[in-house]
């Protein structure tokens, strides 16, 4: 797959002598920060735009301490005008502790934000300029990955054993020239000391500058899995910072050509809205007094976690700073051979540390400015002793939403790592597109394998043509529709339509068991037995046969002739079940980003649609009703657009999203409560 890449950067160093007003240093002293007095080294916004011709993404690296989701939303809003899909724009901070305040936590006094609003607008302008320029710069590239570890450059003051010194380097080459580098290292950029009042990009900026100078192109940095990963020389000041940057750059040069070319694929984006529980009283207080300009959702912070995949390369985007112990084991367990996981911390926002439960040391009690009152007595003593030792700070818990939040992050990343096989079984050509088109497209676009099965041949689902023509057209159109939904394979069982009630049930069920054993689906999407008042007996028989086949396929004495063919037993994980009149609905899928795909897939089925709207017209007339939309000469594609947006918009409203599809989800039942992971 051809990938195009383009890079660009803009200087976003605060102008101390213009008419911006005061800047406050986002250093280590929150709430009583000093003013910026000078520039040690310039800071930049760097942008990388990647496209596979279909999906275009932008990664934006900002040399500031952190951002909140509003900032990224403003960038996304502006870039939407330039044809960037908002969910494909990823803004992250490098987390330098020597930028101007971008969080509002580093003001002159408690309760006063240090954000320079004009500077924020300036930064957004610069980012938009750079993103548009990067897009114009796009050329076909080859992508290379190099890797090393430098645990010796990192200290973990909490848990000296838990060090992840991963250094990742991704090179983008057009012909022989380097047009860009994306690199991550896990050490927190916190080399400047507490007294510093000068702007600096810390080690990432120095090293990126060195890469750009020697190899050309633009070098973007992101902090990797950096929770509790302090650099040696932490807070030692500029002299040591230079030594550190030189040492890291030496390593980069060493591995620079020791790389591996990546097999590319289409660009896949997986995206999850999540609610992170907030129990930390200090954080909560800031929300309560309106310090953060956003609402909590029933006590939770609403944010996003995402993953981008190109071939074996995965960018895992986290809105804060996870500890290595939180995500590292997941990559080992759920990654496939050859997978490369590059965690990007502080994407979209900096919501503090995500600490795994077994490393969590303090339990927040209630709001206080003193951390000593925050822990119970024994912990407080230990905590105080640790604080008094130089660099023995264990107060990451003070800067974490809650340990439950880390658990949500871990579970979400796990979900983003797992790839599933989806077997969607519809009776007729239009069942899957109408009831589950958005869900199926979403699943396939996230890299899951989709197989679509049509049980009948729809030979008479047409009007004004012969059954033979109906059979042919419907087959061609359903294949187009399923391909639009991303089906890798399409199976036609070709039972004569509207006759399933009279066919050999056992034989139908056996065929379905065969398909389940052949494709080994994790998810089956089909009709629900719990639907009521279904007049279409094909749907009823399908619901019965599919749901029975889902468990019978795991019996080792059931149809042993399948085993002779080399197939094995298979248990289906989940079922997403739909019905005309559902009685059980316990699960919904947000299809807002896929509503157009659903409409297009349905609209492919012209022959069925013609009959569908003709039937409704006849029904309306039989009731002496005049329906303009049916009587007037309106193209069916427009009718579909209106109807689909109305019906699935109403469902979406129930769940607070624009469009949704809903199901009776049958999973492992009570076993899900017993699972330990």
Interacting residue ranges for Zn ion, rule: CB under 5 A: 427-428, 431
Query: Smallest distance from the beta carbon of 426 to Zn ion, in angstroms?
Result: 7
* Exposure string over 574-606, b if 16+ CB within 10 A, otherwise e: bbbbbbeebeebebbbbbbbbbebbbbbbbbbe
Nearest distance from residue 461's CB to Zn ion, in Å? 9
Q: How far is CA 409 from CA 9, 68, 303, 380, in A?
A: 31, 17, 11, 28
Q: Select 346 or 538, whichever has its Cβ closest to Zn ion.
A: 538
Query: Taking the complex as a whole, how short is the minimal distance between the CB of residue 580 and Zn ion, in angstroms?
Result: 9
Question: How many CB atoms are located within 10 Å of the residue 215 CB?
Answer: 17
Given the complex with Zn ion, which of 112 and 503 has the nearer CB atom? 503
3-state SS assignment for residue 517 = helix
Give per-residue burial for 84-106: e unless 16+ CB within 10 Å, then b: beeebbbbbbbbbbbbbbbbbbb
Name beta bridge partners: 275.
302
Closer residue to Zn ion, CB minimum distance, 600 or 611: 611
Residue ranges of alpha helices (H) inside 498-536 are 505-519
- Residue 280: what are its φ and ψ, rounded to 5°? -60, 115
Q: Which is nearer to Zn ion, 349 or 431 (CB)?
A: 431
CB closer to Zn ion out of 280 and 547: 547
CB of 431 vs Zn ion, minimal distance in Å: 4
| CB of 428 or CB of 509, closer to Zn ion | 428
Q: Is 41 or 430 the residue whose CB approaches Zn ion more closely?
A: 430
Q: How far is the CB of 536 from Zn ion (least distance, A)?
A: 6
CB of 611 to Zn ion, least distance (A): 12
List CB contacts of 169: < 8 A, sequence separation 6 or more. 145, 146, 147, 181, 182, 183, 252, 255, 256, 259
| Residue closest to Zn ion, measured at CB | 428
| Cα–Cα distance, 606 to 613 (Å, whole number) | 10
- Full DSSP string of 349-364: ---BEE--GGG-----
User: Based on CB atoms, which residue is closest to Zn ion, 431 or 574?
Assistant: 431
Minimum distance from CB of 548 to Zn ion (Å)? 19
* Minimum distance, C-beta of residue 578 to Zn ion, in the bound complex (Å): 11
Report which DSSP code applies to 157: S
In terms of CB distance, is 234 or 424 closer to Zn ion?
424
Nearer to Zn ion, 37 or 532 (CB): 532
Angle of CA points 150, 154, 157, to nearest 5°:
150
Closer by beta carbon to Zn ion, 158 or else 428: 428
Comparing CA positions, the residue from 569, 565, 585 lying closest to residue 577 is 585
Q: Are 572 and 525 in contact (CB under 8 A)?
A: no
Smallest distance, Zn ion to C-beta of residue 120, A: 53
Distance of closest approach, residue 522 Cβ to Zn ion, in angstroms: 24
Torsion of CA 608, 612, 613, 617, to 10 degrees: 140
Is residue 654 packed enough to be buried (19+ CB in 10 Å), middle (13-18) or exposed (0-12)? exposed
Which of 179/429 has CB closer to Zn ion?
Answer: 429
> Residue 164 or residue 431: which is nearer to Zn ion going by CB?
431
**Is 573 or 582 the residue whose CB approaches Zn ion more closely?**
582
CB of 428 to Zn ion, least distance (A): 3
Q: Rg (Cα) of the chain, in Å, rounded? A: 28
For residue 427, the minimal CB distance to Zn ion (Å) is 5
What distance in Å separates the CA atoms of residue 562 and residue 549, rounded to the nearest whole number? 14
Q: Determine the length of the chain.
A: 677
Taking a C-beta distance cutoff of 8 angstroms, is the pair 131, 49 a contact?
yes
Minimum CB distance to Zn ion, residue 547 (Å): 16
Shortest separation between residue 180's beta carbon and Zn ion, angstroms = 50
CA torsion sign for 638, 640, 643, 647 is: negative
User: In sequence order, what are the beta bridge partners of 660?
Assistant: 590
What is the DSSP secondary-structure string of 18-60? SSS---BB-SS-SSSPPBP-EESS--EEEEEEEE-SS-EEEEE
Q: How far is the CB of 615 from Zn ion (least distance, A)?
A: 12
Nearer to Zn ion, 408 or 462 (CB): 462
- Closest distance of CB 158 from Zn ion, Å: 59
Q: What b/e string do you get for 483-510 counting C-beta neighbours within 10 Å, with b at 16 or more?
A: ebbbbeebbbeebebbebeebeeeebbb
Cα 57 to Cα 134: distance, rounded to the nearest angstrom: 11
- Residues 281 and 402: beta-carbon distance below 8 Å: no
Contact 39, 199 (CB under 8 A): yes
Closer CB to Zn ion, 221 or 578, in the complex: 578
């Amino acid at each position: 797959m051809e990938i195009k890449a383009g890079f660009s950067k803009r200087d976003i160093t605060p102008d101390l002598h213009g008419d911006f007003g005061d800047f406050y240093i986002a250093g280590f002293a929150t709430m009583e920060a000093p003013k910026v007095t000078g520039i040690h080294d310039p800071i930049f916004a760097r942008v990388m735009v990647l496209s596979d011709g279909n999906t275009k993404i932008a990664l934006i690296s900002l040399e500031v301490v952190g951002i909140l989701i509003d900032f990224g939303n403003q960038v996304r809003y502006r870039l939407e005008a330039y044809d960037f899909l908002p969910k494909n724009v990823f803004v992250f901070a490098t987390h330098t502790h020597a930028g101007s305040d971008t969080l509002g936590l580093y003001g002159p006094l408690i309760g006063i934000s240090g954000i320079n609003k004009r500077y924020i607008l300036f930064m957004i302008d610069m980012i938009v300029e750079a993103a548009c320029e990067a897009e114009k710069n796009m050329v076909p590239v080859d992508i290379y990955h190099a890797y090393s570890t430098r645990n010796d450059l990192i200290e973990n003051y909490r848990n000296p054993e838990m060090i992840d010194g991963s250094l990742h380097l991704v090179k983008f080459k057009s012909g022989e020239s380097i047009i860009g580098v994306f690199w991550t290292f896990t050490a927190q950029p916190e080399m400047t000391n507490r007294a510093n009042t000068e702007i600096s990009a810390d080690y990432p900026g120095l090293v990126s500058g060195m890469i750009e100078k020697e190899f050309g192109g633009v070098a973007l940095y992101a902090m990797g899995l950096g929770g509790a990963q302090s650099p040696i020389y932490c807070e030692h000041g500029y002299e040591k910072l230079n030594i550190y940057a030189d040492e890291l750059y030496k390593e980069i040069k060493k591995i620079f050509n020791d790389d591996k070319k990546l097999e590319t694929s289409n660009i896949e984006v997986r995206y999850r809205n999540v609610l992170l529980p907030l129990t930390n009283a200090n954080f909560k207080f800031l929300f309560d007094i309106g310090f953060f300009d956003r609402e909590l959702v029933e006590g939770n912070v609403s944010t996003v976690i995402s993953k981008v995949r190109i071939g074996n390369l995965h960018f895992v985007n986290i809105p804060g700073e996870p500890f290595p112990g939180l995500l590292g084991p997941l990559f080992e367990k759920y990654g496939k051979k050859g997978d490369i996981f590059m965690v990007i911390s502080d994407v979209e926002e900096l919501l503090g540390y995500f600490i795994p439960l077994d490393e969590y040391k303090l339990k927040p009690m209630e709001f206080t400015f003193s951390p000593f009152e925050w822990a119970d007595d024994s912990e407080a003593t230990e905590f105080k002793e640790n604080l008094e030792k130089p660099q023995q700070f264990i107060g990451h818990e003070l800067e974490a939403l809650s340990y439950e939040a880390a658990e949500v992050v871990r579970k979400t990343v796990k979900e983003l790592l797992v790839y599933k096989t989806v077997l969607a079984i519809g009776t007729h050509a239009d069942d899957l597109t109408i009831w589950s088109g958005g869900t199926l497209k979403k699943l396939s676009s996230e890299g899951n394998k989709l197989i679509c099965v049509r049980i009948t041949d729809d030979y008479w689902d047409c009007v004004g043509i012969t059954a033979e023509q109906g059979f042919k057209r419907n087959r061609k159109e359903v294949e187009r529709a399923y391909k639009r939904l991303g089906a890798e394979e399409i199976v036609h069982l070709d039972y004569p339509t509207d006759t399933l009630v009279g066919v050999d049930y056992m034989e139908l069920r056996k065929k379905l068991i065969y398909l389940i054993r052949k494709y080994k689906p994790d998810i089956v999407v089909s009709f629900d037995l719990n639907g009521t008042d279904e007049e279409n007996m094909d749907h009823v028989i399908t619901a019965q046969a599919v749901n029975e086949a889902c468990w019978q396929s795991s019996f080792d004495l059931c149809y042993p002739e399948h085993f002779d063919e080399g197939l094995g037993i298979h248990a289906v994980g989940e079922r997403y079940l739909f019905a005309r009149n559902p009685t059980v609905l316990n699960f919904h899928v947000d299809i807002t980003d896929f509503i157009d795909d659903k409409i297009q897939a349905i609209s492919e089925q012209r022959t069925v649609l013609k009959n569908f709207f003709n039937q409704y017209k006849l029904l309306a007339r039989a009731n002496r009703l005049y329906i303009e939309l049916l009587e007037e000469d309106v193209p069916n594609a427009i009718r579909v657009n209106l109807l689909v947006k109305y019906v699935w918009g109403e469902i979406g409203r129930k769940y607070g999203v624009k469009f949704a599809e809903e199901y009776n989800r049958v999973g492992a039942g009570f076993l899900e409560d017993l699972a330990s992971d």
